[in-house]
Amino acid sequence: MLFHVKMTVKLPPDMAPSQAAQLKTDEKVLAKRLQHEGVWRHLWRIAGHYANYSVFDVPSVEALHDTLMQLPLFPYMEIEVNGLCRHPSSIHNDDR
């Protein structure tokens, strides 16, 4: 199943810079691994915001939830999720 996910990160202003840096490093490592595994299919930065639009390819809503909860920055995110399905006017046979 494909899901469009908007993630907006809101770190506390009083968070130690070293803690924020470590969270960001850990997040980057996991994001790259999930992309190589095909779970995190697409990742785009939203210009001017500490946020991204992503597409995840997971077997279920529960799998998406479990994946998102693994993210080191998860406790500091506002997340919006939309399920995706193939559009009948798409010219591609497989939009995955």
Q: What is the DSSP letter of 72?
A: T
Q: Which residues pair with 5 in a beta bridge?
A: 54, 81
Q: Measured between alpha carbons, how far is 14 from 65 in angstroms, rounded to an integer?
A: 28
Tell if the pTM clears 0.85, that is, is over it: yes
* In the chain, where the domains are located: 2-84
CATH 3.40.50.300 correct for 2-84 = no
Q: Tell me the pLDDT tens digit for each residue of 18-50.
A: 999 999 999 999 999 999 999 999 999 999 999
pLDDT of residue 66: 98
Q: Measured between alpha carbons, how far is 90 from 82 in angstroms, rounded to an integer?
A: 18
| Cα distances (Å, whole numbers) of residue 41 to 18, 26, 38, 53, 57 | 29, 19, 6, 11, 6
